[in-house]
Amino acid sequence: MKSDESHQQQVLVSSPEWKLVGRIKTFATSVRMLERNAEELMRLLRYLTTDARSILLMAAGYKEERDKYLEEALRLLHNFLASVAMVIDHARVLYRELYEPRDLFGDYEPEVRRRFTDDPLSRFVRELRNYFLHRLLPVVLYIEDEHGSRTIALRKVDLLQHDNWPPQARKYLESAPDDVDITVLVEGYMSNVRDFYRWFAERQEEIHAEALVSVQKRLDEIAKARGPRMLASLAAGIEAIERGTEDVRAVLSEWFDPVKEPGEFDALLDEVPAWTEHVLYRLEQRYAAVPKELADRFLRAASRSRAP
């Protein structure tokens, strides 16, 4: 069985469909990195502008600590802008590799132009990275208005001294308030990005439907071939758990690695029984039905376990 499984894997990974799916997934990783950098920046911005614990930073005696937070906001903004540029470049390369030579994605460039090149906010965010790299790091302001609302912003007058803004980026900047709210920039750009890449993924699924179905069919066949081996491993694993020589999480993670999975159970990582129940469900979906007696033994063992 294992030999047949290995042969199926070899056939799959050498297929052009597998290489295509891998190329698409690599680009999806770039988009997720942008998402994470945006969320990391937004988390700090939310703390500084809405969390009551940060109000003291506005006091005169807290200047040194306030400056540290603002420098961290600048660092995270730089990371966000770098990932913006990365995704733009990776998307361009992907289009030129997979679609342009065969004229497969005729609506791609018009959409990019409409959503990013011609959109003032998106173009400004894209060009702000060049400002960071080729001019200087801007001053980050911590502002509180007469109503107590706080804002983390860039000074418009400083940015306007840069002569090389493209027309659409300058259009956004000239219409912006004197203090350019970083939260508005990030939220506006990410809304545009999410909408675009949702459309992009749907179009890819249409264009590559046959290849995607072929790969998924082969993956399902390989998974089913692993079913007997998975059940034998779980049976041996529960014996070791009940002897006290093995851990529930370690045994199940051999078949469902939380590091390699897409984060679907992150909220359950500290709840071993709930995590175990969900993993057993996914193993049944992916490989083979887990006998009730075996599943019950895992759940009983999980109820006695603690997350590390």
Question: Domain segments of the chain: what residues?
Answer: 2-207, 226-303
Distance from C-alpha of 106 to C-alpha of 113, rounded to nearest angstrom: 13
Contacts of residue 237, defined as CB under 8 A and 6 or more positions apart, other chains included, come to 246, 251, 252, 254
Question: What tokens appear for 90 in the block?
Answer: 């990776």
Distance from C-alpha of 175 to C-alpha of 173, rounded to nearest angstrom: 5
* Residue 213 confidence class, pLDDT cut points 50, 70, 90: confident
Antiparallel, parallel or unpaired: β 150-155 and 140-144? antiparallel
Q: What is the overall mean pLDDT for the chain?
A: 86
Distance from C-alpha of 18 to C-alpha of 12, rounded to nearest angstrom: 6
Return the pLDDT at 266: 52
Torsion of CA 303, 305, 307, 308, to 10 degrees: 180
| Average pLDDT score over residue span 215-229 | 80
Return the pLDDT at 197: 87
| Contact (Cβ atoms closer than 8 angstroms) between residue 188 and residue 124 | no
Residue 261 has pLDDT above 80, yes or no: no
Helix (H, G, I), strand (E, B) or coil at 38: helix
Helix (H, G, I), strand (E, B) or coil at 147: coil
To 5 degrees, how large is the angle CA 201–CA 205–CA 207?
Answer: 115
Distance from C-alpha of 262 to C-alpha of 275, rounded to nearest angstrom: 14
Distance from C-alpha of 183 to C-alpha of 88, rounded to nearest angstrom: 21
Question: What tokens appear for 57 in the block?
Answer: 């930073």
Contacts of residue 254, defined as CB under 8 A and 6 or more positions apart, other chains included, come to 233, 237
Residue 45 has pLDDT above 90, yes or no: yes
Residue 258 has pLDDT above 60, yes or no: no
Return the pLDDT at 39: 96
| Average pLDDT score over residue span 173-184 | 96
Return the pLDDT at 68: 94
Residue whose C-alpha is closest to residue 8's, from 269, 231, 215, 234? 215
Residue 267 has pLDDT above 50, yes or no: no
Residue 234 has pLDDT above 80, yes or no: yes
| pTM, 2 dp | 0.69
Let me know how long the chain is: 308
